[in-house]
Amino acid sequence: MRCLIQLLLLPLVANAAPITETAALTLLKEKCAACHSGANKSSDFSIESPAQIIAGGKKLGRAIAPGHPSQSPLIQLLKGTLNPRMPLGGELSATEIATVEAWIQSLPPEPAPATQTEWRWPYEKPLKHTPPAVRNTAWPRNEIDRFILAKMESANIAPAPPAPKRTLARRLYLDLTGLPPSPEELDQFLNDQSPNATERLIDRLLASPRYGERWGRHWLDLARYAETSGLEGDGAIGNVWRYRDWVIDAFNSNMPYDKFVLQQIGGGDEHSKTRNNYAPDVQGHIPTAFLRVAPWDRSNLVAAEVRSNYQAEVTTATASVFLGLTVGCARCHDHKYDPIPQKDFYRFQAFFNATQADRGLDVPYKDPAMKEQAEAESNGWKLN
């Protein structure tokens, strides 16, 4: 009868705990609260909430392994396979124990904690692996293909046939320039019967100024490029397009990556590696806009706080972009699993402590005609 009433009531209390949980909690309250309530917490164990029950007491630690009744110390205590049997001085009936077991069974099991080897992989030195053996030896054109094919073969998937020339051209254009080919450009490629027609097309596209615009954009996304400061006020950063153009030029001129990194963080050129030899070209200030495009709260009048937020942002962004490692949580505490202590966050941040980002620098234009055009377009905005 009671079951029937509960069933009838069920639709009316759609948000209430499921029946198994309600039954188990009611039972535990009745049998254990005398010694394990908020007011009387024997052995630091309380049955007041599911979270507290799972957390357990001071002696055994976690009392419940969600989803696994037999591995739960609480069940072992109820059955007497762990001592002293609970409830102290009494015993639950088999049906009552089954009620608690059903609840534990219904709890979603927790993911196994990452093992040492699982979470350490980002810090391991990459190893060269021998390419795996494949059945279809005709398909791979290089070693990377063999890794891909081996996985496909293990899943019984055959590679797609080679793309027709027209499709290939569209893919290459869209990948490298972000634009489809014009009918003339397409014809030029379709009519090119030479065996290296594809290589020639790729070279042409890599040489196109559109290439830097297309691929520079991905970098600008990483560098959190924006033409306003974000947050309250969201003021314009009127000259920041010069950084945008620098990035596009860097891609188009095939700038080596080490130089690309050095210029954005250090603002210098190859000479800056040796401090005594440091004579940067003033144009070298432009790439350091990477350090300036941080969000900036103009409405916050507490200068020290603005400065601290700025430095934390630059530290976090630099680590994410150049190391592929998010360190932001260590601004306030050691990372819980990765080996990133708070101390390292501030040691890293110290590099940026010399950065004064809010002084508008008058970097001259290489091309005087550009200056006039820029001034007309920028409408009086300054880098600030």
Tell me the per-residue interface mask from 309 to 348 with ligand HEC, x by CB under 6 A, - otherwise. Answer: -------------------xx-xxx--x------------
Q: Which of residues 89-118 bind ligand HEC (CB under 6 A)?
A: 89, 92
Tell me the per-residue interface mask from 149 to 188 with ligand HEC, x by CB under 6 A, - otherwise. Answer: ----------------------------------------
Among 24, 25, 57, 349, binds ligand HEC (CB under 6 A): 57
Residue nearer to ligand HEC on the CB measure, 34 or 144: 34
- What CA–CA distance (Å, rounded) separates 171 from 181? 9
Is 291 buried (19+), middle (13-18) or exposed (0-12) by CB count in 10 A?
buried
Q: Quick count: other Cβ atoms within 10 Å of Cβ 212?
A: 21
Instruction: Give the shortest CB-135-to-ligand HEC separation in angstroms.
Output: 45
Stretch that binds ligand HEC, among 17-25, 56-64, 180-188, 223-231 (CB under 6 A): 56-64
Please name the residue that has the structure tokens 């099991």: 109
Q: Which tokens hold the place of 309?
A: 């937020």
- What CA–CA distance (Å, rounded) separates 300 from 311? 15
Instruction: Give the shortest CB-326-to-ligand HEC separation in angstroms.
Output: 7
Residue of 60, 96, 104 lying closest to 78 (CA atoms)? 96
Among 24, 25, 36, 176, binds ligand HEC (CB under 6 A): 36
If binding is defined by CB under 6 A, does position 34 make contact with ligand HEC? yes
Residue nearer to ligand HEC on the CB measure, 145 or 338: 338
- What CA–CA distance (Å, rounded) separates 297 from 358? 12
Residue nearer to ligand HEC on the CB measure, 61 or 164: 61
| CA 363, 364, 369, 372 torsion-angle sign | positive
Q: Is residue 61 classed as helix, strand or coil in its secondary structure?
A: strand
36 touches 74 (CB < 8 A)? no
Q: Is residue 36 classed as helix, strand or coil in its secondary structure?
A: strand
Tell me the per-residue interface mask from 58 to 87 with ligand HEC, x by CB under 6 A, - otherwise. Answer: xxx--x----------x--x------x-xx
Among 24, 45, 65, 101, binds ligand HEC (CB under 6 A): 45
Residue nearer to ligand HEC on the CB measure, 59 or 141: 59
Residue nearer to ligand HEC on the CB measure, 89 or 126: 89
Backbone angles phi, psi at 47, to 5 degrees: -100, 20
If binding is defined by CB under 6 A, does position 225 make contact with ligand HEC? no
Stretch that binds ligand HEC, among 53-61, 105-113, 234-242, 315-323 (CB under 6 A): 53-61
Q: Quick count: other Cβ atoms within 10 Å of Cβ 214?
A: 19
Stretch that binds ligand HEC, among 30-38, 116-124, 130-138, 252-260 (CB under 6 A): 30-38
DSSP 8-state secondary structure symbol assigned to residue 240:
T
Instruction: Give the shortest CB-309-to-ligand HEC separation in angstroms.
Output: 10
Nearest-10 crossing angle of helices 209-222, 165-177:
60
If binding is defined by CB under 6 A, does position 29 make contact with ligand HEC? no
CB within 8 Å of 321: residues ≥ 6 apart: 222, 223
Nearest-10 crossing angle of helices 209-222, 197-207:
60
User: How many positions of this chain bind ligand HEC (CB under 6 A)?
Assistant: 30
Backbone angles phi, psi at 228, to 5 degrees: -130, 165
**Interface with ligand HEC by CB under 6 A: which residues?**
28, 31-32, 34-36, 42-45, 56-60, 63, 74, 77, 84, 86-89, 92, 328-329, 331-333, 336
